[in-house]
Structure 1
Amino acid sequence: RKNITEAATLYDAAKAGDLSEVKRLTKDDCTDVNKLTGTLKWTPLHTAARNNNTQVAMVLLACDADPNIQDTDGWTPMIQASHYGNVDTVNALLAVNAKVDVKTQKGWTALLQASENDRLHVAKALISAGAKLDLITNNQWTALMKASFNNHFEIVKALICARANLDIQQEDGRTALMMASHNDHIA
């Protein structure tokens, strides 16, 4: 990864994936580890999770970074890592007991992000960690509905095998099966 200037902040070092700089900045002082930065109020762990800088994330977690801290929109580092398919970072967060069912302001969870974006390995890790399968977004989508609608067949199988509820309906009565059949995603 690239090296950054000596005067860099911990956030900048985490964003750049500069492991040696993150280690240097946290060696004697972990006070900035949960500092909120920018308009979205991200922490160094948010940006490490988004950019799949797992080793950086592990250093931050060892320095007591809050794995459940939410940004302005309610996104946690777990949701960031899940959205971008960063399974190694997801596993590092799971290892420190990060919460898997935190909801964003729009009602999205890590599993919903993984299902929407076809992140099979992330979805399986979250399911194994006990993620609630049937949580519903503010606009009435479940993980199974998202995976069905987008033809993410392997995630659909994983959710069904884990016993996701097939009968949940949106306000207009649509179920995951109806969404899959409407989009010709029936195997």
Structure 2
Amino acid sequence: MADIFSVIADPTRRHVLSLLLQRYVAADTGPAQGDSAPDAAPPAAPMGEVSVSELVTLLELSQPTVSKHLKVLRDAGLVSVREVGQHRYYALESAPLEEVEDWLIPFLSADFDETLDDDGIDFEDELDELVNEAQGASPAEPTRSQAARVGERAGQTAALAAERARSIFGGAARKFPTVARGSD
């Protein structure tokens, strides 16, 4: 199995995961399965899932390229696939990302107050805003679900945290050049 960090290092695969997260969050806040009118058209994909053809359209990539990335994500356990005839529906499987979370948490919870002030990033304030928004603060964008906005903000906060971690590790690598980097 590929190293989870190698899998999520690719920006296209991260984009695929983001699209699947958006669909998952939207499904979590959408109407219940039995709530639609009897003569309403069925949804394009089951709740929380995205078809390969829809991913091709959203990513603006060729079908073979999208399929290649989906295979890597599937092999890493980050997505599940459901086959219906010739159609394939993909859904997010977040459990493997716990390894990334477990690895990042010690760095994010360390005392980086001095560095935090230099960057102007306050993750605790960001988290408080996300919690307030999730608990029912007035929606800023009525066309998107509240959960989708919260998910997007959480993703942006995670991206900031990852960028900060890269910066910290880059500084450490410059200070300690004799420490070998391993892929273990």
TM-score, length basis structure 1: 0.21
Higher helix share: 2
* Greater relative contact order, per chain length (Cα 8 Å cut-off, separation 6+): 2
Larger radius of gyration: 2
TM-score, normalization by structure 2: 0.22
